[in-house]
């Protein structure tokens, strides 16, 4: 196990602070070179190969300019260590192979002194009043410690003391050995799940040993890495995140986060503080809502603070919090101003002297007992020498009205700021633009001047109580002591200056984190958006949108996209702009499909707009992605004509590009649509060609529409076409290959997909138990991950199997339930296929009326959408049910009606070359004709179709046909 501190020459590497120090002082080194330095030092004396570096620093399968990336990192290390590649003291190049760290290394586990984790405040005078509120929080904490957690909300105006109260209880918690997690929301930084990201980041930074970190993150590690990409750099062996259907990935992520919270709380009772929830984005609030639901049996107390005055503007917040309060999952503590005697106590704490009642009441009157205002006013008066007389005692008479202008918090703060040196004011302006929390690193990179002079300015601000250092977090080093102070600084800047500062900060972030920019896309989008650099704003907003969509933070993604589209108007018209806009609509389309549904009209609009724009640019891959997205929408909307036209275009385009991934995608799309249209022969051709372009090693980029693996997709649908075309044995074999491939890929959505399709094929082959076994497996996966589409289909097939195994009532109930689940997806396809089992189950239980109703619904779906895959079987079942219905209100009850339906079924099946449906319909017809003493015709027609089969003689359809043929004397 690597030691915590590793010393060489005048340097030391500290694993817990994740820092390089020279003679005790931190040395600037970016994260990737630092990662690499740790690796090299850990294997000192030994060769570390370039392959090993690549794998451990960036992880497997990452595309980048490898050589360049490694060389750059090594160059940065040498620079930081003042090392020379010609006569190296530390890092020696082993040509073509890699590097060796040659200095003598001493390892120790001695912990450097660390300040305890600060929550939010610098040290202040002791708290005044708030006894009742504190008692409430104490109770909450005790409840949580005994396993009954809950959400406590502290509300009130800015400066009223929400943070202070939370801080106070945090202190109590620490004394009771309750672990503390703190996260902040920000007015400006629109990063999805921001406070949770901060919590995770701090947690990760507090754990020294990778092994311990791995243990702590547990099974959830790979989902948590979505929040904090750098986890993958620290723990390169983390499995990749599950590639779930977009709609499910959010749920899975939420569950993982809550499981993680439950686990760490079960190890040690925990207090989680979420600050400034009035700024929380939707994703944060949803996750909080989710967590709140589960708190009651967790040793976890959550405290949320927010300004109730800002409630109405954030409706999402109002709803989440209201729901929690109403469901008694949360309790609210509303803070008001302090009474005069407590203001007096505050003043005594601040001054160390007891103020006369008149002074306390004057200050109370001016501030309404708002503690922040009390403090600021006190400092202001003190700095102006207005408080004390020559003997150092309070003036007994204090008239604040003597101030030239009416006092307000902002004004008082502004006056205090004005007393700082101009260099410090400048520094604060940059810091305020960076945010409530700012790292020294970025502050320095965005300012002129050397580290020492900037540090001096920070110290001046710190002495004035305007900022304070936040310990133990290498990224966040300082914070404004109150958001109102930061706002006062911002308010004092002209718009032009603010714009320039945003540009400088953005530029500093870009330079400082050049090798891990994806961790900063949200911040860069924010700063560039306010900087006047529309070009970069759009680019980073687009990245941030895609990243948010990946985290299933779709509201956030949509907000980024809207802003980006707006900023795009500032670009000069032309190809560049069109390309950007297309990319944005593509991201938007995918995100909308995930939130609203695969066939969402909103997604269709986004893709259509992109499609229009594609005329202005020549970018084949982009055009392919746009058409592919649109195709997916049409297919799920059951607009097969439009889908097949697009499929043809996709194929033509792919052929021009001659790229296997695109060819695969095009054949897959076109084959799928043709299959649904009942054009089995050509569907098969395309699907088989698709399979030929498939290479399991080459993963399809996420930007392609489907969630399932394309290889499994092509195999499954080829199996379906084979069954239709009269090759049941080959169909079973093919679907077996699909299942095997899915197992190998071990990808949940694909596994569920293959298992359901195995069930479908087995259902068609009438292998009742096998079909049931397949869908049971699928249902298990779908329930775990929440795939309603396949959960619905699986449940229907299970019901069908039960009905065939003598449990008609239970079977029917399951089918109806499955249909309900499927309906929730809003999908327009598959209805004929899914209504048929219902009709069959009713038929089995002798309920012809309901059976016919189901058949009519299936028929209506066929007519409406042109989904003809199962059309023949719909007619056949209609005939079967017609024979059954004796006293029904439906007209069709006579034998001739049945005969007509069977003949229709045969005609459709013939037109589609669906030998299997033809055989089934012919058997039904032959049976009827035999009863009507037309045995010859029956025998001839049955023999004719039976002879078309060269395999599948073990399947029930063929066996029944054979028995009938024998009876007919064939
Ligand atoms: N009850 C109190 N006793 C002493 N000081 C307080 C009290 N409440 C708040 N303060 C001080 O007032 C300032 C503003 O409080 P803070 O908790 O940051 O307000 P909020 O979070 O509501 O905006 C802080 O400096 C804090 O230490
Ligand atoms: Mg606060």
Ligand 2 centroid – CA 639 distance (Å): 53
CA distances from 483 to 121, 501, 519 (A): 12, 19, 24
Taking residues 393-417, what's their average pLDDT? 72
| Residue of the CA atom closest to atom 5 of ligand 1 | 127
**375 CB near ligand 1 (under 6 Å):** yes
Atom of ligand 1 nearest to the CA of 124: 27
| pLDDT over 70 at 838, yes or no | yes
Ligand 2 centroid – CA 440 distance (Å): 22
Tens digit of pLDDT for each residue in 947-970?
999 999 999 999 999 999 999 985
What φ, ψ does residue 336 adopt, rounded to 5°?
Answer: -120, 175
**130 CB near ligand 1 (under 6 Å):** yes
Enumerate the domain spans of the chain: 5-108, 131-228+243-334, 340-405, 416-493, 872-970
State how far the Cα of 914 lies from the Cα of 536, in Å rounded to an integer: 56
| pLDDT over 90 at 698, yes or no | no
**356 CB near ligand 1 (under 6 Å):** no
Tens digit of pLDDT for each residue in 575-609?
889 999 999 999 888 888 777 778 888 899 999 99
Give the angle subtended at the CA of 563 by the CAs of 561 and 566, to the nearest 5°. 110
Q: From the CA of 335, which ligand is nearest?
A: 1
| pLDDT over 90 at 67, yes or no | no
Q: From the CA of 376, which ligand is nearest?
A: 1
**127 CB near ligand 1 (under 6 Å):** yes
Taking residues 500-505, what's their average pLDDT? 95
Tens digit of pLDDT for each residue in 142-181?
888 888 999 999 999 889 999 999 988 988 888 888 889 9
Q: Which residue pairs from 845-850 have beta carbons closer than 8 angstroms and sit at least 24 positions apart in sequence?
A: 845/803, 845/808, 845/809, 845/812, 846/884, 848/881, 848/884, 848/885, 848/886, 848/888, 849/885, 849/888, 849/889, 849/890
Q: From the CA of 154, which ligand is nearest?
A: 1
Grouping H, G, I as helix, E, B as strand and the rest as coil, residue 759 is helix
Atom of ligand 1 nearest to the CA of 130: 1
Q: What is 872-970's CATH topology?
A: 1.25.40
Ligand 1 centroid – CA 292 distance (Å): 26
**220 CB near ligand 1 (under 6 Å):** no
Instruction: State which of 137, 184, 372 you would mutate to test the pocket of ligand 1, scoring each by most atoms of that ligand within 8 A of its C-beta.
Output: 372
| Residue of the CA atom closest to atom 7 of ligand 1 | 161
| pLDDT over 90 at 386, yes or no | no
pLDDT band at residue 893 under the 50/70/90 scheme: low
Buried b (16+ CB within 10 A) or exposed e, 463-477: ebbbbbbbeebbbbb
pLDDT band at residue 889 under the 50/70/90 scheme: low
State how far the Cα of 236 lies from the Cα of 455, in Å rounded to an integer: 36
| pLDDT over 50 at 223, yes or no | yes
Fold matches, 5-108 and 416-493 = yes
Place of tokens 């299942």: 739
| pLDDT over 90 at 770, yes or no | yes
State how far the Cα of 70 lies from the Cα of 99, in Å rounded to an integer: 10
Ligand 2 centroid – CA 475 distance (Å): 21
Which residues have CB atoms below 5 A from the ion given as ligand 2?
163
Return left, alpha or beta for 968; rule: phi > 0 is left, psi -120 to 50 is alpha, else beta. alpha
Class of the 5-108 domain? mainly alpha
pLDDT band at residue 247 under the 50/70/90 scheme: low
Average pLDDT over the chain, rounded to an integer: 87
**304 CB near ligand 1 (under 6 Å):** no
More confidently predicted of 205 and 417: 417
CA distances from 919 to 569, 597, 751, 836, 864 (A): 62, 38, 32, 17, 26
pLDDT band at residue 62 under the 50/70/90 scheme: low
Instruction: State which of 118, 134, 161, 412 you would mutate to test the pocket of ligand 1, scoring each by most atoms of that ligand within 8 A of its C-beta.
Output: 161
For the packed helices 871-884 and 848-865, what is the interaxial angle rounded to 10 degrees?
Answer: 160
Q: Of all residues in the chain, what percent carry a pLDDT higher than 70? A: 92
User: What do you get for the CA distance between the two ends of the chain, in Å?
Assistant: 80
| pLDDT over 80 at 318, yes or no | no
Indicate the burial class of 495 (C-beta count within 10 angstroms; 0-12, 13-18, 19 or more): exposed
| Residue of the CA atom closest to atom 1 of ligand 1 | 128
The whole-number pLDDT of residue 727 equals 97
CB 880 within 8 Å of CB 898: yes
The whole-number pLDDT of residue 835 equals 97
pLDDT band at residue 257 under the 50/70/90 scheme: very high
**124 CB near ligand 1 (under 6 Å):** yes
In 466-615, which residue ranges form alpha helices assigned H by DSSP?
483-491, 495-512, 521-529, 534-550, 554-568, 575-595, 601-614
pLDDT band at residue 892 under the 50/70/90 scheme: very low
| Residue of the CA atom closest to atom 6 of ligand 1 | 371
Q: Looking at the domain that runs over 131-228+243-334, which CATH code has it been given?
A: 3.40.50.300
| Residue of the CA atom closest to atom 20 of ligand 1 | 159
More confidently predicted of 688 and 28: 688
Q: From the CA of 184, which ligand is nearest?
A: 2
Ligand 1 centroid – CA 153 distance (Å): 16
Ligand 2 centroid – CA 333 distance (Å): 14
The whole-number pLDDT of residue 351 equals 84
**465 CB near ligand 1 (under 6 Å):** no
The whole-number pLDDT of residue 358 equals 85
Ligand 1 centroid – CA 137 distance (Å): 16
**164 CB near ligand 1 (under 6 Å):** yes
Q: Which two tokens stand for residue 332?
A: 């609210």
**DSSP strands (E only) in 427-496:** 437-438, 467-469, 478-480
| pLDDT over 60 at 114, yes or no | no
State how far the Cα of 846 lies from the Cα of 876, in Å rounded to an integer: 17
Q: Looking at the domain that runs over 416-493, which CATH code has it been given?
A: 1.10.10.10
CB 195 within 8 Å of CB 148: no
Taking residues 827-852, what's their average pLDDT? 94
């Amino acid at each position: 196990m690597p030691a915590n501190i590793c010393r060489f020459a005048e340097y030391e590497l500290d694993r817990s602070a994740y820092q390089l120090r020279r003679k005790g002082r931190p040395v600037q080194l970016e994260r990737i070179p630092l990662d690499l330095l740790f690796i090299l030092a850990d294997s000192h004396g030994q060769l570390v190969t370039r392959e090993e570096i690549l794998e451990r620093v960036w992880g497997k399968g990452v595309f980048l300019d490898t050589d360049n990336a490694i060389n750059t990192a090594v160059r940065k290390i040498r620079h930081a260590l003042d090392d020379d590649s010609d006569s190296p003291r530390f890092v020696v190049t082993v040509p073509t192979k890699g590097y060796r760290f040659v200095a003598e290394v001493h390892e120790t586990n001695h912990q450097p002194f660390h300040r305890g984790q600060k929550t939010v405040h610098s040290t202040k005078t002791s708290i005044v009043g708030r006894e009742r509120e504190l008692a409430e929080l104490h109770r909450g904490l005790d409840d949580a410690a005994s396993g009954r957690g809950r959400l406590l909300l502290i509300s009130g105006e800015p400066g009223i003391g929400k943070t202070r109260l939370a801080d106070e209880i945090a202190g109590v918690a620490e004394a009771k050995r309750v672990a503390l997690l703190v996260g902040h929301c920000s007015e400006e930084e629109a990063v999805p799940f921001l406070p949770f990201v901060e919590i995770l980041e701090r947690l990760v930074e507090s754990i020294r040993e990778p092994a311990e970190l791995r243990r702590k993150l547990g099974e959830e590690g790979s989902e948590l890495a979505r929040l904090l990409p750098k986890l993958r750099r620290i723990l390169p062996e983390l499995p990749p995140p599950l590639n779930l259907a977009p709609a499910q990935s959010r749920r899975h992520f939420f569950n993982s986060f809550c499981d993680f919270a439950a686990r760490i709380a079960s190890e040690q009772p925990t207090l989680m503080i979420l600050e400034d929830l009035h700024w929380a984005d939707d994703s944060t609030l949803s996750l909080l809502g989710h967590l709140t639901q589960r708190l009651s049996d967790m040793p976890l107390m959550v405290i949320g603070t927010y300004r109730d005055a800002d409630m109405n503007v954030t409706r999402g917040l109002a709803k989440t919090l209201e729901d929690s309060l109403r469901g008694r999952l949360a309790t609210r503590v509303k803070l008001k101003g302090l009474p005069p005697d407590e203001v007096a106590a505050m003043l005594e704490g601040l001054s160390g002297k007891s103020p006369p009642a008149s002074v306390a009441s004057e200050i109370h009157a001016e501030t309404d007992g708002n503690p922040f205002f009390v403090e600021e006013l006190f400092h202001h008066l003190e700095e102006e020498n207005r408080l004390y007389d020559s003997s150092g005692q309070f003036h007994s008479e204090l008239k604040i009205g003597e101030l030239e202008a009416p006092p307000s918090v902002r004004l008082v703060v502004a006056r205090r700021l004005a007393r700082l040196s101009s260099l410090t004011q400048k520094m604060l302006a940059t810091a305020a633009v960076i945010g409530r929390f700012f790292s020294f690193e970025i502050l320095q990179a965005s300012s002129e001047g050397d580290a020492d002079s900037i540090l001096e300015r920070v110290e001046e601000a710190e002495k004035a109580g305007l900022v304070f250092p936040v310990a133990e977090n290498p990224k966040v080093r300082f914070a404004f002591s109150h958001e109102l102070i930061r706002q006062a600084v911002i308010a004092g800047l002209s718009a032009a200056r603010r714009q320039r500062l945003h540009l400088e900060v953005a530029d500093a972030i870009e330079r400082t984190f050049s090798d891990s920019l994806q961790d900063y896309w949200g911040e860069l989008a924010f700063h560039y958006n306010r900087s006047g650099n529309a070009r970069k704003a759009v680019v980073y907003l687009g990245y941030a949108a895609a990243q948010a969509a990946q985290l299933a933070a779709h509201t956030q993604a949509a907000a980024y996209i809207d802003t980006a589209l707006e900023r795009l108007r500032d670009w000069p018209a032309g190809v560049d702009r069109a390309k950007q806009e297309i990319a944005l609509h593509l991201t938007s389309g995918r995100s909308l499909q995930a939130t609203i549904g695969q066939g969402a009209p909103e997604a269709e609009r986004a893709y259509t707009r992109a499609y229009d724009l594609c005329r202005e640019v020549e970018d084949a891959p982009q055009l392919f992605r746009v058409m592919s997205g649109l195709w997916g929408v049409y297919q799920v909307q059951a607009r097969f004509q439009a889908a097949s036209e697009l499929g043809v275009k996709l194929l033509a385009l792919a052929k021009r590009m001659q790229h296997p991934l695109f060819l695969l995608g095009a054949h897959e799309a076109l084959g799928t649509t043709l299959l649904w249209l009942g054009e089995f022969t050509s569907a098969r051709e395309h699907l088989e060609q698709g399979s030929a372009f498939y290479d399991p090693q080459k993963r399809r980029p996420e930007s392609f529409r489907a969630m399932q693996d394309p290889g499994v997709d092509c195999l499954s649908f080829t199996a379906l076409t084979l069954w239709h075309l009269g090759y049941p044995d080959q169909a079973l074999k093919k679907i077996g290959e699909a299942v095997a491939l899915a197992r190998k890929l071990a990808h949940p959505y694909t596994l569920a997909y293959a298992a359901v399709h195995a069930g479908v094929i087995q259902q068609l082959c009438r292998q009742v138990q096998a079909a049931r076994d397949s869908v049971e497996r699928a249902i298990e996966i779908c329930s775990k991950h929440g795939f309603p589409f396949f959960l619905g289909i699986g449940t229907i097939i299970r019901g069908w199997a039960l009905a065939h195994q003598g449990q008609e009532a239970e079977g029917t109930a399951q089918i109806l339930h499955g249909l309900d689940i499927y309906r929730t997806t809003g999908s327009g396809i598959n209805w004929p296929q899914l209504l048929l089992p219902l009709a069959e189950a009713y038929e089995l239980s002798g309920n012809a009326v309901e059976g016919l109703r189901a058949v009519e619904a299936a028929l209506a779906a066929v007519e409406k959408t042109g989904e003809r895959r199962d059309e023949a079987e719909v007619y056949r079942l209609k005939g079967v049910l017609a024979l059954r219905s004796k006293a029904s209100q439906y007209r069709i009850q006579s034998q001739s009606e049945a005969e007509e339906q069977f003949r229709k079924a045969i005609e459709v099946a013939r037109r589609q070359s669906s030998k299997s449906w033809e055989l089934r319909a012919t058997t039904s017809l032959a049976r009827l004709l035999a009863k009507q003493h037309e045995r010859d015709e029956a025998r001839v027609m049955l023999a004719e179709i039976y002879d078309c089969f060269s395999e599948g003689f073990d399947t029930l359809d063929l066996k029944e046909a054979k028995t009938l043929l024998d009876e007919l004397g064939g």
